[in-house]
Every structure is written in C-alpha cells, then in structure tokens.
Amino acid sequence: MLPSSDTVSTQGGAIALDHQATTPCHEDVMTAMEPWWREQWGNPSSRQHRLGLTAAAAVQVAREQLSDCLNCSAEQLIFTSGATEANNIALLGHARAVSRERGKPGHLISMVSEHHAVLDPLQQLRSEGFRITLLSPEPDGLLDPKKLEAAISEDTQLVSVMLANNEIGVIQPLPEVAALCRAHGVTLHSDAAQAFGHIPLDSQGLGADFLSLSAHKLNGPKGVGALICHPELAVEPLQWGGGQERGLRPGTLPVPLIMGFAKAAELALSDLESRSQRLEQLRNRLWEGVKQRHPTVLLNGHATARLPHNLNITIPGVLGSKLHRALRSRVACSSGSACSRGEPSHVLMALGRSRQEAEASLRLSLGRSTTDGDIDQAIQALNDVIHQLRHKA
C-alpha cells in the first residue's frame, strides 16, 4: 500500500526555507491541471478525434503562453521532463551534432560551480573525446568575462553558464557572456531553472542560444520543464520514438503538467516585482538578524547580484553535522543542492571555503508563502542553535 500524505513523516512545525530545492504547487496551478487528468484525458498526438484534438490545442495554447512569458517563438520551446533533461539535450545533443559536422570533438567551456545537471553531461562528453574547460568563479561567485574570453580557442564550440546559481543565488552577467560568445562564433547554453519566475527573464535580451527551465521551481508541478532552442542550431536527439517536440523529445506529452507549467509561469510573472521586493526585504532581515548576534557569520556569494529569495551563509567554528541536526526540527533548509549526494558543496569550495566551512553552511531560500513570522522564528532558531553549538564547543 502506498503511503498517504497523512502517514508520511514530515518536518512538523519547521519553517520551510528550502524553496530552491522545490516549491509547493500553487492552488491555481492544481485547478488548471485538474480537468486534463480526468475529463480531457486525450493524447495530443491523436488527431483523429475530439479528445486528441482538444489536448493538442491546449498544448499549443500553453506553448504560446510560455513563449510570450519568455520572449521567444512558440516553435523554439521544447517540452521536457525538467531542466536536467533540457540540459542534457542541449549539451549532449548540440555538441555531438557539431562534432559530426566538423569531423571531430571540439572544446566546451563551463564553470566549476555549475549544477551537476551540467557538470555530469560534460563529463560524459569528455569521455567521448571532447576537451572540457571548467572556469573557477571569483570569490563572490561571479564569472569574470575576461577569463572566459581567454579560455576560448579556435575549436571552442559551446559555453554553458548558469543564469542564477542554485546554491548561492548569484546572477551571472549573461548578456556580456553572450556578446563574447557571438563575437567568437560560439554557442551559449544557460541553465535558467532557478531564475525563471523570480527575476525578469527575456530570452532575446539574455542572448543565450539554449535556455533550460523547470516548472517546479516556480510553484508549478514536478516532472515538466522546457528547452528554448535556437532554430538554426543543430541538435541530435538523445532518444527516438514518435517524433514529438521536433523529434528532440519523443514521447506522449504530459498535458496536465504542461497546463500547470503555463499557469505557474503566468502567476509568477503577475506578481514578480512585488514578490521579489517583499522576499528581498525578508531575506535581508534574516541576514541582519543573524549577523547582528553572530558577526563572524559569512555571506556566500555576491551581496547584491543575487536572487532576491536566496541567502547562503557559513557559520565558522561549528561542525556541520551538529548544525544541521540541531536545526532540523525548527528550520527546513539545506547545506547545498538537493542533488549534492551528501558531499560538501562544490560551489562553496570553488569560492575558497574549506571542506569544514562548506559543511557548516546553510542555503536558506524563501518562497511565495514565507511570512514575517517565519523569518522571526527562523532568526530565533538560528541564533539559538549557533549560540548553543559555540557554547558547547
């Protein structure tokens, strides 16, 4: 028997500050999905009857709504299972296609601080003969465009730089990176999963050739995302089947999830400015509330060029295992990416933090539902735990 939401153990009264791992599905999103699970259950590839035609029309409307939100054409938007799959299609598919055209594997550039959904596909390409360069960020987490330009060589075919980092929240200077790539005739990919719905995102203004997105980071459903593809760039599919999504992502489209994705994007953009301002104020209050009591606490990442709902801090002089164990019942947060496999954050270590410092770090990410009271309780919990651990030490 499958567990129900009532039988699964939960964090109880812990303050939820891990919204960069995922977000709760918005009530309006669930309402938008509901008919497509039951009454309108057709396969959008079945065009010989009304159920299928209705589903196909709904997918097209959702595709156009999302493309309007992103300032791209509907034809550029490929539905995927999430940003991880989108990253794999862009990186593996494009690199292999260009390699086939040129007759040999080329050179790919990214950053040490990327998500594993970018780093792992690059390692796969390395095993296939591609040359990989991983640039280190500056101490504030940002990429120095001069280092990127110096790394570009004659055989460089692709650069991948995350728009907003999933751990430290820093926002990279992507338009400047895009200009460099264009000047050298190099394709640019960006994982924008953490950015979409939280900061203004204009795909044309950013200048990236490929953008990866995920619905569950903006109060949408898990299991759906998208890849924005430059229409003139070659991409080899990673799997083959029914030819859906321009042959790049075959398989029956999940109509309810797609409808939920479109609704989540609409909701996110409708209050983006006011929500960002509110969460930034709460985030700053959280930082100041801890910093005032414990001045040695360190901020990870650039102070202002960061997502409004992200705070990443290192607490010197305490053991990470004890820190997280003591906080678990009061604050639901993390030490890094949800996909970190239990290892210390490679992002923080790329900034110069030691292994012990990386383990004694917290990613605190706010969400749409975060309140003033949540922040007050979180400040109290953090201060109590830090004091307790340092006093025992």
pLDDT at 261: 98
pLDDT at 280: 98
Q: Is the pLDDT of residue 180 over 80?
A: yes
The CATH number that domain 27-269 falls under is: 3.40.640.10
What is the CB neighbour count within 10 angstroms for residue 194?
Answer: 26
Residue 87 and residue 8: Cα distance in Å, rounded? Answer: 32
Residue 111 and residue 82: Cα distance in Å, rounded? Answer: 21
Tell me if domain 15-24+272-392 and domain 27-269 are identical in fold: no
Which tens digit of pLDDT belongs to each residue from 135-174?
999 999 999 999 999 999 999 999 999 999 999 999 999 9
Contact indicator for 79, 128 with CB cutoff of 8 Å = no
* Residues 299, 290, 361, 353, CA torsion sign: positive
Structural class in CATH, domain 15-24+272-392 = alpha beta
Identify which of 162, 113, 176 has the alpha carbon closest to the alpha carbon of residue 349: 113
User: Looking at residues 97-124, what average pLDDT do you find?
Assistant: 97
Contact indicator for 353, 361 with CB cutoff of 8 Å = yes
Tokens matching residue 67: 């493309």
| 317 residue type, one letter | G
**DSSP SS3 for 156:** strand
Q: Count H helices, E strands: the chain?
A: 14, 12
pLDDT at 219: 98
Contact indicator for 339, 355 with CB cutoff of 8 Å = no
Residue 22 and residue 24: Cα distance in Å, rounded? Answer: 7
Which tens digit of pLDDT belongs to each residue from 48-89?
899 999 999 999 999 999 999 999 999 999 999 999 999 999
Which tens digit of pLDDT belongs to each residue from 265-296?
999 999 999 999 999 999 999 999 999 999 99
What is the CB neighbour count within 10 angstroms for residue 340?
Answer: 18
Give the rounded percent of residues in the chain with a pLDDT score beyond 90: 91
* Residues 90, 91, 92, 97, CA torsion sign: positive
Contact indicator for 226, 78 with CB cutoff of 8 Å = yes
pLDDT at 11: 47
Identify which of 130, 189, 127 has the alpha carbon closest to the alpha carbon of residue 156: 130
Q: Is the pLDDT of residue 4 over 70?
A: no
Which tens digit of pLDDT belongs to each residue from 308-364?
999 999 999 999 999 999 999 999 998 865 555 668 899 999 999 999 999 999 999
Strands (E), 36-112: 77-80, 107-111
Tokens matching residue 134: 């991983």
What's the mean pLDDT when you consider all of the chain?
Answer: 94
User: Looking at residues 11-22, what average pLDDT do you find?
Assistant: 88
pLDDT at 293: 96
Contact indicator for 291, 262 with CB cutoff of 8 Å = no
Tokens matching residue 258: 């797609």
pLDDT at 109: 98
Q: Is the pLDDT of residue 3 over 80?
A: no
Contact indicator for 253, 52 with CB cutoff of 8 Å = no
Task: Name the burial class of residue 94, with classes exposed (0-12), middle (13-18) and buried (19+) by CB atoms within 10 angstroms of its CB.
Answer: buried
- First CA to last CA distance, the chain: 46
Q: Is the pLDDT of residue 239 over 50?
A: yes
Q: Hey, which residues are catalytic here?
A: 339
Which tens digit of pLDDT belongs to each residue from 81-95?
999 999 999 999 999
Q: Is the pLDDT of residue 10 over 90?
A: no
pLDDT at 378: 98
Residue 7 is given by DSSP the state T
| Sequence ranges of the domains in the chain | 15-24+272-392, 27-269
